[in-house]
């Protein structure tokens, strides 16, 4: 896929699936705007892929999201693609989820997607074309024990995706979500009592995943690029599971 001449904003681009997506878009010729609250990681990725100065900040701040789009327009004159990859996880049941933890999950995973999408849609509507790919999750449609806030937040992302896709179907803006299963990223290991070993992760794959292996970030990123491309021109409002058959059962 060729994205030469297109401008792509990617949040959460300093690590994991966001980083893999940034690298893949850059390799496909896109002008990538790297966004992450981790300024050091964002600077590293931006330098390595030949992107301009990264934008460091918190997507839960609507003013920052507006600033990202405004700065992108100032640099490149347009916003062709927005990838909302920024996200966090809280591993806790309801009784162990604090007010602060719940609010932080919603602020980043839900508000961040909405604020960035709202800002990008305004620019894309003026252009008459654009694509937004949100990072949902298999747990946005099916439940899982011990991650109630995360499940709720990703369910909200799926509904934002569907509703905004309908709102902007006639504006030339396609809005879809990629819904990963278990992916070998720092988030998979985060928030646990102890860091899982390679054997622990393989045991997780053996017991929960039909293909019996974790996804690599690039396998998710490749689907993001497809959804952003003209090859997916008849797709909007779709939740695309990339989960090795997890939700097929």
| Residue 192: how many other CB atoms lie within 10 Å | 10
Nearest to 239 by CA among 143, 142, 129, 118: 142
Name the helix (H) or strand (E) containing 7: strand 7-11
Work out whether strand 55-56 and strand 173-180 pair parallel, antiparallel, or are unpaired: unpaired
Known catalytic residue at 150: yes
Exposed/middle/buried for 84, CB within 10 Å: 0-12, 13-18, 19+? buried
Nearest to 65 by CA among 111, 15, 27: 111
| Sequence-ordered list of residues with C-beta below 8 angstroms from that of 123, at least 6 positions apart, any chain | 69, 72, 73, 78, 79, 130
Distance separating alpha carbons of residues 106 and 92, to the nearest angstrom? 14
| Sequence-ordered list of residues with C-beta below 8 angstroms from that of 25, at least 6 positions apart, any chain | 3, 8, 10, 32, 81, 83, 225, 228
Exposed/middle/buried for 159, CB within 10 Å: 0-12, 13-18, 19+? middle
- The answer to whether the beta carbons of residues 149 and 90 sit under 8 Å apart is yes
**Given 150, 205, 214, 224, which residue is catalytic?**
150
Work out whether strand 81-84 and strand 55-56 pair parallel, antiparallel, or are unpaired: unpaired
Catalytic residues: 150
């Amino acid at each position: 896929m060729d994205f030469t001449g297109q401008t792509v904003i990617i949040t959460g681009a300093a690590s994991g699936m966001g980083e893999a997506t940034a690298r893949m878009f850059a390799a496909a010729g896109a002008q990538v705007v790297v966004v992450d609250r981790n300024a050091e990681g964002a600077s590293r990725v931006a330098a390595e892929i030949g992107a301009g100065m990264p934008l460091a900040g918190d997507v839960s701040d609507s003013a920052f999201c507006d600033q990202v789009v405004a700065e992108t327009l100032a640099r490149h004159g347009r916003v062709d693609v927005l990838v909302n990859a920024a996200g966090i996880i809280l591993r806790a049941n309801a009784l162990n989820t604090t007010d602060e933890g719940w609010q932080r999950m919603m602020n980043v995973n839900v508000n961040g997607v909405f604020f960035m999408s709202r800002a990008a849609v305004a620019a894309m509507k003026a252009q008459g074309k654009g694509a937004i790919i949100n990072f949902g999750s298999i747990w946005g449609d099916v439940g899982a024990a011990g991650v109630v806030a995360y499940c709720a937040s990703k369910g909200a992302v799926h509904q934002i995706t569907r509703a905004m896709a309908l709102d902007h179907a006639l504006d030339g803006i396609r809005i879809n979500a990629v819904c990963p299963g278990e992916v070998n990223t720092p988030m998979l290991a985060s928030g646990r009592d102890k860091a899982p070993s390679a054997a622990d992760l393989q045991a997780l794959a053996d017991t929960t995943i039909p293909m019996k292996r974790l996804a690599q970030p690039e396998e998710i990123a490749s689907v993001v690029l497809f959804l952003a491309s003209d090859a997916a021109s008849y797709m909007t409002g779709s939740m695309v599971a990339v989960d090795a058959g997890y939700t097929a059962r």
